[in-house]
A and B are shown apart, each in its own frame.
Chain A
Amino acid sequence: MWLVFVIFVFFPYVPYIGRYISLGTEVVIWSLFALGFNILLGYTGLPSFGHGAFFGIGAYAAGIFFLQVYKGVWVPLIMSILITGFFTALVGLLVAKKRGIYFALITIAVSQVFYFIAFRWEELTGGETGLSGIDRVNISFPNLFSIKLSTPINYYYFVLVIFILCTLLIWKIVHSPFGKVLQAIRENEIRAKYLGYNTAAYKWGAFTISGFFAGLAGGLYTLLINSAFPFVLDWTQSGNVVMMTLLGGGTVNFFGPILGAAIFIVSRDLLSTYWESWMLIYGLIFVFVILFIPSGILGLVGGKKQTILR
């Protein structure tokens, strides 16, 4: 784990890609999102196809709070966590009792509702044009020092610190007794139920926790791009985070989502720059991964058989 952190810390100093800091920040943010999401997908075995909506709620929460209430850094971010957590908890109540295809279907439906709300509720969300003008202000620790977050590299490290803390937190969660029960549910929910566990409550918990991280990631993303757009709530974004998690091997390895996020974001950016018909390759990569490396890259490398939910 420490190796991963070290790589991220030194990333900006690597020549050439080091210049494209905001891409690196994006990788970190999506890794955070994917890691949190993996609690649900990889560890609990619940295929949510609507998490893009929670990312989006977090993004808008931060944006709206910044523009309407308080122009800070911490407050909008905290609001994005809390508000997303609230909605995720609500939705979680709806889905906790389901699994498999029905689970996936409900999450798609719910995320589409949120997407349309973001798209159409112009007054609140700015509609198609989205919100803009969300600056990154300085953060200061009273009596200590003040950091200018508007420079890309400072923001990168800020996000990185948050990421490291969250990763440690997620690690603790999945390795705790709670996490173990989640895995049991993944392996065989009925059996877990017979053992006396209230599986619905655990599933709700996993769902909500993953929502908190999604919201945080969303808020950080808004601050990164200084705006919020409805497109992040689209179901294709939800598909993207699932893909990232799978690609890297989230179903077999804790760090899979990080690797997946890195590869996904970087290659997507590169592809569309160098080839006008990049969507073709992009789609084919999806197909390739699903068919040939369903347990993801780390699954391939580690030689472990795919454990995912049959």
Chain B
Amino acid sequence: MTEFLSFAVNGLVLGLIFAVVALGFTLILGVMQVINFTHGILFAFGAYFAFTLQRFVGFWWALIIAPIFVGLIGLILERLVIHRTYGGNPLFGLLLTFGLATALEEVIRMIWGKPGYSVAAPRFVAGSLDLGFMFYSKYRLLLAALTIIIILLVWLFLEKTSYGAIIKAGASDSEMVMALGKNLPRMRTFVFAIGSILAGVAGVIAAPIWSVRPTMGTAILMPAFVIVVLGGIGSFWGSVIAGLIVGMSTSISVMFWARISDIIPYVLMAIILLFRPRGLMGEKSVLEV
């Protein structure tokens, strides 16, 4: 049974990484109604920047700087291209970001080359922790701590700042926010940048355990997607809780029948969409009609 505890912790940690990515995704989806397919590639950019920066400034500085670069990329994308799809058919936003993601994956290959890379975790967390009743890797515990801090920061921002409150409102009802006369375009750019930064941070943190490859983004894009729908579009707690659920279910199903561990999130998603379309914690939104 010691295994079970380790599995559970593992699922939680995995879920935390998913949650960070999903948070960014859900904000973008909620505020701009854009299904952001570039989220995966932004995650990859985070990892790649971390790889390059690490050689010069080490892991911790890379952790801070890389996401900022990713945020910049997100900003540029939004300002140049993505904002043109707002208000239209969600299909266009989806296709547009899909096209961008495809092109950007090739850009990564062109800049960094086709071979894979490795990012080293900080030395003091190398190795594992054997507590008898639980066996776990130290780095992942650090990872958990980092993600919790990030999630907390986002929460503080949304709950305690006035700008955050507007965004939170906008995530479930952007029309209303527009009616209140706020500068919507700037807010949207800001949200996209924040979302990108979150994806980038997750990429940096995940890099030491998942390895750095051009196709690495695809592994979190679909889960992010599922989590957001499961948790409710635009909902902070929805993303966090659903993230944990998906992480746990993936991890625990490996114990029993590894083959279906991938399918479970989708089945959960389909069930939720049928019986509670707005997700576990979503609010009735403009999207539903």
Contact = CB atoms under 8 A, between A and B. Distances in A.
A and B interact: yes
Interface of A: 47, 49, 94, 98-102, 104-106, 108-110, 112-113, 116-117, 120, 235-236, 239, 242-243, 246, 277-287, 290-291, 294, 308-310
Given A239-B98, A287-B99, A104 B263 contact: no
Contacts of A243: 95
B286 to A, nearest CB: 10
A286 B259 contact: no
Contacts, number: 116
Contacts of B33: 101
Nearest to A109: B269
Contacts of A117: 263
Given A100-B287, A102-B288, A286-B98, A112 B277 contact: no
Interface string B93-110: 011101111111111011
A106 B273 contact: yes
A172 to B, nearest CB: 27
Interface string B249-289: 00000000001101100110110011001000000000111
B85 interface: yes
Contacts of A104: 35, 90-91, 94
B102 A99 contact: no
B225 interface: yes
A282 B84 CA distance: 20
B102 A49 contact: no
B88 interface: yes
B187 interface: no
A242 to B, nearest CB: 7
Which of A102, A235, A243, A310 is the most central at the interface, judged by chain B CB atoms within 10 Å of its CB?
Answer: A102
B265 to A, nearest CB: 9
Given A98-B277, A102-B287, A116-B266, A279 B106 contact: yes
Given A109-B226, A282-B103, A286-B99, A47 B260 contact: no
Given A104-B35, A105-B229, A279-B103, A310 B89 contact: yes
B88 A310 contact: yes
Contacts of B269: 109
B253 to A, nearest CB: 12
A287 B287 contact: no
A283 B100 contact: yes
Given A120-B259, A280-B110, A283-B103, 14 more contacts: A47-B89, A102-B288, A109-B226, A109-B269, A110-B270, A120-B263, A242-B91, A277-B109, A277-B110, A283-B99, A283-B105, A286-B95, A286-B98, A287-B96
B222 interface: yes
Nearest to B88: A310
Given A47-B91, A104-B94, A290 B99 contact: yes
Nearest to B225: A108
